[in-house]
Chains A and B, each alone.
Chain A
Amino acid sequence: MDAWLAGIAYHLPEHVLTNAQLGGEHPEWEMEKLGPRIGIASRHVASPGECASDLAFHAANHLLDGLGIRRADVDFLLFCTQSPDYLLPTTACLLQDRLGLSTSCGALDYNLGCSGYPYGLALAKGLVAGGVVRNVLLLTGETYSRLLHPDDRSVRPIFGDGASASWITAAPGGARIGACSFGTDGAGAGSLIVREGGSRGEPRRPRGARHEQGGGDLFMDGMELIRFCLKRVPEVVEQNLRAAGLSTEDVDRFVLHQANSLMTGRLRSKLGLDLARAPDYVEAVGNTVSATIPIVLCEASAPFRPGERVMLVGFGVGLSWAACLLDWQRPTMVGRAPTPPSPESPPAPLA
Chain B
Amino acid sequence: MKATEAEILEVFAEALEVEASSLRPERALADVPEWDSIAWLTLISMVDERWHLVLGAAEIKGFVTVSDVSGHLLAQLHQKVG
Q: Is the CB of B49 within 8 A of A270?
A: yes
Q: Is the CB of A262 within 8 A of B48?
A: no
Q: Is the CB of A34 within 8 A of B44?
A: no
Q: Is the CB of A38 within 8 A of B49?
A: no
Contacts of B37 in A (CB 8 A): 154, 222-223
- Tell me if A263 counts as interface (CB < 8 A to partner B): yes
- A34 (CB) vs chain B CBs: closest residue: B38
Q: Is the CB of B57 within 8 A of A227?
A: yes
Q: Is the CB of A269 within 8 A of B41?
A: no
Q: Is the CB of B38 within 8 A of A226?
A: no
In the assembled complex, the CB of B22 is this many whole angstroms from the nearest CB of chain A, namely: 17
- Tell me if B40 counts as interface (CB < 8 A to partner A): yes
**CB contact list, A213-248 vs B, under 8 A:** 221-224, 226-227, 230-231
Q: Is the CB of B41 within 8 A of A266?
A: yes
Q: When each residue 26-41 of chain B gets 1 if its CB lies under 8 Å from chain A and 0 otherwise, what string results?
A: 0000000000011011
- Tell me if A305 counts as interface (CB < 8 A to partner B): no
Contacts of B40 in A (CB 8 A): 222-223, 226
- A230 (CB) vs chain B CBs: closest residue: B48
Q: Is the CB of A221 within 8 A of B42?
A: no
Contacts of B82 in A (CB 8 A): none
Partner of B38, one of A37, A227, A231: A37
Centre residue among A37, A38, A263 by max chain B CB count within 10 A = A37
Interface size on A, residues (CB 8 A): 17
Please report whether the interface of chain A is mostly helix, strand, loop or mixed according to DSSP. helix
Q: Is the CB of B41 within 8 A of A226?
A: yes
Q: When each residue 44-59 of chain B gets 1 if its CB lies under 8 Å from chain A and 0 otherwise, what string results?
A: 1100110000111100
Q: Give CA–CA (A226, B37) in the complex, Å.
A: 10
Contacts of B18 in A (CB 8 A): none
- Tell me if B64 counts as interface (CB < 8 A to partner A): no
- Tell me if B60 counts as interface (CB < 8 A to partner A): yes
Contacts of A154 in B (CB 8 A): 37
Partner of B54, one of A34, A231, A263: A231
Q: When each residue 8-23 of chain B gets 1 if its CB lies under 8 Å from chain A and 0 otherwise, what string results?
A: 0000000000000000
Q: Is the CB of A230 within 8 A of B54?
A: yes
Knowing A221-B57, A224-B57, the reply to whether A230 touches B38 (Cβ < 8 A) is: no
Q: Give CA–CA (A344, B60) in the complex, Å.
A: 51
Contacts of B44 in A (CB 8 A): 223, 226-227, 230
Interface residues of A (CB under 8 A from B): 34, 37-38, 154, 221-224, 226-227, 230-231, 262-263, 266, 269-270
Interface residues of B (CB under 8 A from A): 37-38, 40-42, 44-45, 48-49, 54-57, 60-61
Task: Give 16 new A-B contacts, CB below 8 A, not counting A34-B38, A230-B44.
Answer: A37-B38, A222-B40, A223-B40, A223-B61, A226-B40, A226-B44, A226-B45, A227-B57, A230-B45, A230-B48, A230-B54, A231-B54, A266-B42, A266-B45, A266-B49, A270-B48
